[in-house]
Amino acid sequence: MNLKLRNARITITGGKGFLGKHLIKAFQDKGCSKITVADLPEYNLVNMSDVKRLYVETEPDIVVHLAARVGGIGFNQENPATLFYDNIMMGTQMIHEGYLHGIEKFVALGTICAYPKFTPVPFREDDLWNGYPEETNAPYGLAKKMMLVQSQAYRRQYGFNSIFLLPVNLYGPGDNFDPRSSHVIPALIKKCIDAQKQGADAIEIWGTGQATREFFYVEDAARAIVEATENYNQSEPVNIGAGFEISIRDLVELITELTGYRGKIIWDHTKPDGQPRRMLDTTRALAEFGFRAETNFREGLKKTIAWYETTLVSPEEVAG
């Protein structure tokens, strides 16, 4: 890593979160020491006064904007307005105030939910505007995609150096296992382990299992963001992911195997599958800043399950 970036003051919004904790470590491993976390409750980035105070108090050279209001399909269905408003306000205000404060670089994290519902697989960045997103998460996806529009507009008019990265679904140690807002991998791990310790003979899964997803190990994602922060300086969006897809049905089989759950699987076909297929074309990330994912999916799942069992489940519960 170049000396200028090692000496830069880096502010990470959402730095207390799942990805944020791994990103801080990835920057530190590269020699960066001037890192500030801007997160709740100290900063509510939906409020402009908190955004302005963030820039005054942290005096960043570089901002990495991870902060977001997120959740799975059920959470998205119940909170579309909240997800749209909170995410669009955070992104818009953070970029604008970053420009006003003359920061050197803004790194915006988008979402795969920004892609059209029926995007050809693998998703290419050039397909981003070829249709409306999948309905269950469109408000969230579109709110995050507005950062791309703003990023490109501010570069064109003001010469503001901002970049826009599109990570696929993350997983790994430290993930969100709250059933009200967790994504599919932590939700499935929790279901399987809870069923075992409670002696349940069946678990219920939403949908048909036919939808496919790509999953990106969080340490790989952190490394991708660091590489892009150092080496990428254009407003064209860049996918970051692992470059594979797996059906939800196959994912359930793999997680039940790795957790040791042997009970029945009940598929609730009245619940939505979400987007039919998801997998990213990651060739631009490789070409532009040399990133390629390294973590084997099975090994990544093992590490995630082990973290959950040792961190969030007591030894007595695991044994019982």
Residues involved in catalysis: 140
8-state DSSP, 291: -
8-state DSSP, 150: H
- Helix, strand, coil: what percent of the chain each, to 5? 50, 15, 35
Residue listed under structure tokens 């693998």: 122
- What sign results for the dihedral spanned by CA atoms 13, 72, 305, 191? positive
Read off φ and ψ for residue 106, nearest 5 degrees.
Answer: -125, 125
User: Alpha-carbon distance 216 to 119, whole Å?
Assistant: 19
Concatenated DSSP letters of 58-97: H--SEEEE-------HHHHHH-HHHHHHHHHHHHHHHHHH
Whole-angstrom Cα Rg for the chain:
20
* Pair of tokens at residue 175: 């993930």
- What sign results for the dihedral spanned by CA atoms 151, 291, 189, 246? positive
Residue listed under structure tokens 């040792």: 310
